[in-house]
Structure 1
Amino acid sequence: MSMLKVDNLNVYYGAIHALKGVSLEVNEGEVVTLIGANGAGKSTLLKTLSGLLKPKEGTIDYLGKSIAGSAAQSIVKAGISHVPEGRRVFANMTVEENIELGAFLRKDSQGIKQDFEKVYATFPRLLERRKQLSGTLSGGEQQMLAMGRAMMAKPRLLLLDEPSMGLAPLMVKTIFQVIKDINKEGTTILLVEQNANMALSIADRAYVIETGRVIISGTAEELQASEEVKLAYLGGH
């Protein structure tokens, strides 16, 4: 079943035409990845889906309802969480306070408590550092925190923007394992990732975005096998 359907999306930054007629679909339970060079429009797409940017034209349907141009808060309420590029943790708040903020729209204190435990079980390092100020964490720990915070909103669809950026290889492996686990537990994922090899290794399907347009789409296997994708994004052969 199609969870998210984007059709002919056009988005501008001032005079810059950032997304040019982008159409894509994410089905319930999938990991779908967006691949492309810096500045291709991938982050712009996620920001538009989460209500941070308004499209000039085109439709965004989530669970059969239009959310194009809706306020970010109502999109979170509908079940979409966004882990932005650069993590954006609140540096002078503790780890625990940051995680708590993820649940700000929820009223079910028992459920919140259980999800706190789940976040700490997923990221034991956050439990060790829970009283520490978030600004003192390493990049990898901040990425864990940003993901843990997003999980607290109980999303059905998780938008992840460049989760491996600037992280050590071992930490990248950890983060990708967690993405797989979150998906296995039933959360659908739309992933923007510079590390195309890694992204395709866990994705069901993928879209390649170049200068604001979708130029290739297919299953992860098809894209891994495509000569064009190999040369442009997977480091040759």
Structure 2
Amino acid sequence: MLKVDGINVYYGNIQAIKGVSLEINEGEIVTLIGANGAGKSTLLKTISGLLKPKQGKIVYEGKSIGGKAAQTIVKQGISHVPEGRRVFANMTVEENLQLGAYLRKDKEGIKQDLDKVFELFPRLLERLKQQAGTLSGGEQQMLAMGRALMAKPRLLLLDEPSMGLAPLLVKTIFRIIEEINQTGTTILLVEQNANLALSIADRAYVVETGRIALSGDAEELTSSEQVKMAYLGGH
């Protein structure tokens, strides 16, 4: 579904991504794990069009999308839930969700997808008229995910969905990520909590200083000594 081939990405003169290649098959949950600053978020931003690769190719469903404008990439079926949630604080929950569908014209489909979002996140329905800035961190994460789903993505990029959330909420969010995947949305997940990410993923890539250090089946990586020592608390 998505093939990233040898991309290099720079912030000014600093190279953040060094010749990264990876692929995602339709229906999978693929996770990127690695230390802070390894380049995981940069990789997501490059796929979603917020950053442009200097070299290399990004091909989605057979079409080259590397360097295309972010809204073009959303139109093609990729939605990005950024790190730190980035909800529109002064707008209501409802307005945030409607903004997620701004490229769509199918009124009936939008209504159906709104209902689906409320099924996944009943809390958002309770908070519909509330300003997004007044929501708790967990509710804002639900809103950011709901808003991304309103674009009807076939591929969902999730950046650090558990960041700053209480453990119980993290469990809920991850259960919902699995539900979203089961309804047919492919997911690329960046997550600090490597144990949790690997527990729901099909495959994983370990990113170290802008390069892919290891990749494989999520179960294999969970039992790899190297991964255990570096990312899973040693045992």
Place the TM-score, normalised by the shorter chain, in its bin. Answer: over 0.9
Q: How many residues matched?
A: 235
Please give the alpha-carbon distance, in whole angstroms, between the structure 1 residues aligned to 2:227 and 2:7.
Answer: 23
> Which structure 2 segments of 5+ residues have no match?
none
The partner residue of 2:188 within 173, 187, 190 is: 190
Report the counterpart of residue 28 of structure 2 in structure 1.
Answer: 30
Report the counterpart of residue 68 of structure 1 in structure 2.
Answer: 66
SS state of the match for residue 191, structure 1? strand
How do 1:226-237 and structure 2 match up within 5 A? 226-237=224-235
| Large movers: runs of 4+ above 4 Å | none
Deviations 1:48-100 (A, max 9, x none): 00000000000000001100000000000000000000000000000000001
Please give the alpha-carbon distance, in whole angstroms, between the structure 2 residues aligned to 1:119 and 1:66.
Answer: 30
Deviations 1:25-50 (A, max 9, x none): 00000000000000000000000000
Give the TM-score of the pair, scaled to structure 1.
Answer: 0.99
SS state of the match for residue 160, structure 1? strand
> Which structure 1 segments of 5+ residues have no match?
none
**Displacement, 1:157?**
0.1
Give the TM-score of the pair, scaled to structure 2.
Answer: 1.00
The partner residue of 1:50 within 48, 51, 55 is: 48
- RMSD over equivalenced CA pairs, Å: 0.4
How do 1:107-118 and structure 2 match up within 5 A? 107-118=105-116
**Displacement, 1:197?**
0.3
**Displacement, 1:176?**
0.2
Q: Structure 1 counterpart of 2:204, which letter?
A: A
Please give the alpha-carbon distance, in whole angstroms, between the structure 1 residues aligned to 2:197 and 2:185.
Answer: 16
% identical equivalent positions? 80
SS state of the match for residue 116, structure 1? helix
Please give the alpha-carbon distance, in whole angstroms, between the structure 1 residues aligned to 2:88 and 2:53.
Answer: 28
The partner residue of 1:4 within 2, 10, 24 is: 2
The partner residue of 2:100 within 99, 102, 105 is: 102
Please give the alpha-carbon distance, in whole angstroms, between the structure 1 residues aligned to 2:154 and 2:214.
Answer: 26
Report the counterpart of residue 161 of structure 1 in structure 2.
Answer: 159
Report the counterpart of residue 132 of structure 1 in structure 2.
Answer: 130
SS state of the match for residue 12, structure 1? strand
Please give the alpha-carbon distance, in whole angstroms, between the structure 2 residues aligned to 1:93 and 1:143.
Answer: 15
Q: Structure 1 counterpart of 2:128, which letter?
A: R
